[in-house]
Structure 1
Amino acid sequence: MRIGARILMGYLAIVALGALLVTQVFVAQVKPGVRQTTEDTLVDVANVLAELATDDFLAGRLGDGDFARRLQRAQGREPAAAISGVPKRGTDLRVYVTDARGIVVFDSRGEALGQDYSQWNDVYLTLRGRYGARSSAPDPNDPDATVMYVAAPIRDEAGAIAGALTVAKPNRALAPFIERSQGTVLAWGIGLLGVALLVGAATATWITRQLDALRRYAQSVTAGERARLPPAAGEFAALGQALETMRTRLEGKQYVERYVQDLTHELKSPLAAIRASAELLESPLPAADQARFAQAVGAQAGRLTQMVQRLLSLAALEHQQGLENRAAIRVPELLDQVATDVEPGLRSRGLSIRRQADAGLALDGDGFLLRQALDSLLENAASFAPAGSTLELLARRDGDQVVLEVADRGPGLPDHALERAFERFYSLPRPDGGQRGSGLGLCFVAEVAALHSGSARLVNREGGGALASLRLPAASGTPAGKPLR
């Protein structure tokens, strides 16, 4: 079964179940609601009639008094009304009055005169000062033909309850309104279900078309065909873009092209120098010139070797999904090791190094990669720092991060280079006129930072020079006695 059909069926099942539950609950409330409204009306009618019947009742002329005559005339009226389309041709109220003992002394239909109604709830409760009402079936053979009875007290001049007046109305008189309301609810429910069906079908069709377009695109890419990403909306647009990104990265076309172009460009200069020196060495030269050209060949070969090694390291790092050798690292010890490694080389260039780290700083990571990254930052700083200056290797805590910084007092970077400093093969000319670097060191640093869920940054310092920083997550606790990796 197609996904669109499954979505549609699931959607319809949920909507149908919800509609059924709502309709059943609503319909179940219609009948009680109508009866409650009718009961409220009967309460008012009973109290009005009880007040009108009080004088005749207390005078003992209720059966042939003014109240009885007017009630008979009212029941003979033809309302000729149409209530919400339901015609009403007559009055279906029944009124009876009982004395303080519960004996019927008046019945508008003459059916219960002299009978004892003292045990019926409407009379029993009302004579005791409480709200009296009941619903019962006069005919045992027709239990559905129930009648609603609501009573009101008749009080004497002293305010004591002298009797009860009950108004009765057949529940069947409410049936047309209940059926009409239920029919309206059901009609609306069916209509809403139809609308839900259309919306569900449209939604399922849209989803199916979006998925089919992405499926065809994926099949075309798999077959090696040229295919454009189909237009999509919402989450499908994000899914399509993810597929396009995955395609680009899997093919590696842009990655390889950029690598080859940049590498070709970077290799041209040392290869040309090697070729020129080799050609000159083939001809007779003074010993001093031979030594100079041989030294140039060796320097350029070393440069090529370094570039290839760094490229291999960078390529391995870029394809690494996570840290393989994670351990607890004491940051002050890390800085001490790095400074010890680079100090001889810096001294040969007339530079010194100052290191400072907050006590107790620790992080979890790969110590070997972090040392390489700091070595690269120091090497980059040393190539721009003036002779006699001091490089600074610092570490501090900033919130939940450890910040490793390398600072120099060189010329700094031009504005256009700040954003490109971590690009592969991007490098700037050295202040002393020496050859440029490979442009791979800072790129390597950025990859190390990313593997540690951190970031790398290079900015100009106030007063001159550059400040390179690594921001890495701090360890949750200070490591104690663990080896530095």
Structure 2
Amino acid sequence: MTETAKRSLRAGLRWTSLRLRLVVVFALVALTAAVSASAIAYWLNREAVLTRTQDTALDDFHRQMQDTAAALPERSTKDDLQRAAVRMAGNSLGYSVLLVDERERGKPIVGYSDLDRFTRADVPDSLREQVVRKQAAASGEEREYRLFWQRTSLADTPYLVAGTRITGGGPTGYMLKSLDQERQDLNSLAWSLGIATALALVGSALLAQAAATTVLRPVQRLGDAARKLGEGKLDTRLVVSGTDELADLSRTFNKTAGSLEKKVADMSAREEASRRFVADMSHELRTPLTAITAVAEVLEDEADSLDPMIAPAVHLVVSETRRLNDLVENLMEVTRFDAGTAHLVLDTVDVADQVTACIDARAWLDAVDLDAERGMMVRLDPRRLDVILANLIGNALKHGGSPVGVRVRTEGEELVIEVRDHGPGIPEEVLPHVFDRFYKASASRPRSEGSGLGLSIAMENAHIHGGDITAANSPQGGAVFTLRLPRDAEKLARRDGPDDEDDRGGQGTRERNEDGAT
């Protein structure tokens, strides 16, 4: 999967996640509101339905007790109670009646309106106790019987049970009113409210989807534009429409992108001018430097025959001329890397032979302990590997002294070359900067034999291969530089042509490759 596809996938996941959060929030709000409203509506309707049915039945039963049961003779028979119960239940309200009287103490007689539906066993004991107990009158002087009721369930069917007794003597009456119809009506209401809640939830999700699309589409466009801007497409702009906050954000983005494009263009122009100046200057200096170097070498050959007072000056001129030549060559190489014109010229080489050739060409055989097996074939740019090794080994010899240990091995698809010296090591505060250009480890010694570009050039040559160089201190003492390169750099080779003559020459000289960055 390409990096662009990965970014698109991550962006899609973030976009979906934000949309999901908006939908969930809308749905939760709608669900909470709908459930609360439905619960309140159900509770209010339930109380209204039950209270209306209950009050109607109790009022009618109380009236029937006063009109029918109170008119019974003082010593009523079972038949009298039976007829009165049937008469009291014979109305449109559909409740059953039970009348209880005592001819003698402990010998009750009972009249039923419907023995199959309502018997004394159906009357709760708590209700029976309240009905037969006299209650204080409102005046507090007399005691009377009152109407009591309660809701109960018989065979999973809800019922209203009520009872009262005739004050001043008379039978005790009980009624049983089925609330099954009311339960069915309330169940239908609950289903209706549940469906309404579900519809509200679906509607809120659709509204959330529409709102999320309206809000997230400009945000997605802004994210895509910011991503393109980060990829270097500085001419990216947003189409602005509307006057809301997102439109203001788009305008701000366009202004920022325009300002950034202008500043980057200015910086690029200045950087290009600086690179051109360094390259032109380096090229212009090469011709006079070549002549001066030739003259200096002639003077060096004749130094022994010169006046002893003049000989040190000649040696100084020769040394500084070589340093200047070294600096010019390094600057040209750095300029190629900065301009992106440095290329790989690949070849299949034996690493052990390549390292040996690098050491032998600079007469370092006596100062280097090489640990490398022959037959390790890799595909890379031999000249650039020579530049890397010369800088690393030369830096180790200069700052750590001999012997310098060079160990070559392979790890999977990587070539690993370790260069270790036995010097004092690198200060911890210096380690992060050893590959910086012109970095000097000691501020008190800004002038040294090297140009301060050697390790930087080595790192650039490692990067162009797709590799890297790390610096660390060995627990046994001394500094260790580890070079890691792919064993096959074919995929990284640029196919736009071979290196030019300047890029191929001048980097194998001993003096320049001995240069170190610290």
State the TM-score bracket (shorter-chain normalisation).
0.3 to 0.5
Larger radius of gyration: 2
TM-score, L = length of structure 1: 0.45
TM-score, L = length of structure 2: 0.43
